[in-house]
Structure 1
Amino acid sequence: MLTLACSWLGMQWVHEAGHVLGALATGGEVERVVLHPLSISRTDLRTNPRPLVVTWAGPAFGVLAPLILWGMARGFSLDSAYLFRFFAGFCCLANGAYIGLGSFDAVGDCGELLRNGAAMGELWLFGALSSASGLILWNGQGRHFGLGNNGQPVPFRHCAGLAAITVGLISAGNLFFGTG
């Protein structure tokens, strides 16, 4: 459960970081970022000269950044690399489902993308590729979480680390970005 909570919060952070970076790179001005564990995250912009770029930057960065983190964890042979893999899979699945399925109701970023010229097929393609990538990353990982015949206990230090990160993300979100 802790892994899911931490992944949800981390996914919100990297997704919104993508919007912020996209805005800054295109001359936009960020008004505020809302990051709260009990609400849907969002980035409000004061000015947004390139809305299509800024909107795509959220899910794109939200998928790529965790994949890079997992690659780095693997490269350094961290024994916690499985947690980074889980997080990358979570972010791929969450962003993919959000964009792919959200396209049908044009909710949130999907509505912005469609209003600013993205084709429905682009959203479906992103959704399918990202979601499938997430499921592929998750495949066979249950053993690291104590599941299956070869299940291994999760090391206490990994649980403690996830708890600290979760508390840190909640605290930083409330301190710096407010509750909504």
Structure 2
Amino acid sequence: MIMKRIEQIILIVSFILFSWLGMQAVHELGHVLGALASHAEIEHVALHPLIISRTDIGDNPHPLVVVWAGPVVGAALPLCAFLLAIVCRSPGVNLFRFFAGFCLIANGAYITFGSSEGGLDTAVMIQNGSPRWVMVLFGILTMPLG
């Protein structure tokens, strides 16, 4: 009984840590795809479990495309993977569900409650004309789905 509980705790903790890194990877993938689509210059992508990930962009003709692609892809791609897992009757569909929910909540909360200062996505959004209400709406749509 105790060993079973320890195994459950190890699974939960390890999957939360995986979800944190996976969420950052999918979010940064969104920025990279947005940069490629808008012909922005990608200088560096920082992804490590012990840091907050970031994508450094040089010349950026369409900053709103790049900055919004992160949370949009970061929320939508895991959700699509979960839906595909359901359709394909994948084993471990609950892990897909958890990861999709984690990404929806994390991206929604980040955009809704993020600071308007510093180099965060939310600051870039505001500096480039994204209305705050659109950012809040993003969170209203994504967080409850998570």
- Regarding TM over 0.5, the answer is yes
Alignment of 1:1-180 (within 5 A): 1-102=13-114, 105-107=115-117, 108-134=120-146
Shift of 1:49: 0.7
Question: How far apart in 2 are the matches of 1:19 and 1:122?
Answer: 18
Kindly provide the CA deviation profile for residues 3-22 of structure 1, in whole angstroms up to 9, marking residues without a partner as x. Answer: 10010000000000000000
Kindly provide the CA deviation profile for residues 66-114 of structure 1, in whole angstroms up to 9, marking residues without a partner as x. Answer: 0111111111101211101100000000000100011xx3151000000
SS at 1:59's partner residue?
helix
Question: How far apart in 2 are the matches of 1:43 and 1:52?
Answer: 14
Question: How far apart in 1 are the matches of 2:95 and 2:41?
Answer: 34
Aligned pairs, how many? Answer: 132
Question: What is the alpha-carbon root mean square deviation over aligned residues?
Answer: 0.8
Question: How far apart in 2 are the matches of 1:48 and 1:15?
Answer: 18
Q: What TM-score do the two structures reach when normalised by structure 2?
A: 0.88
SS at 1:132's partner residue?
coil
2:28 alignment partner AA: E
Kindly provide the CA deviation profile for residues 134-167 of structure 1, in whole angstroms up to 9, marking residues without a partner as x. Answer: 1xxxxxxxxxxxxxxxxxxxxxxxxxxxxxxxxx
**Unaligned 5+ residue runs, structure 2?**
1-12
SS at 2:44's partner residue?
strand
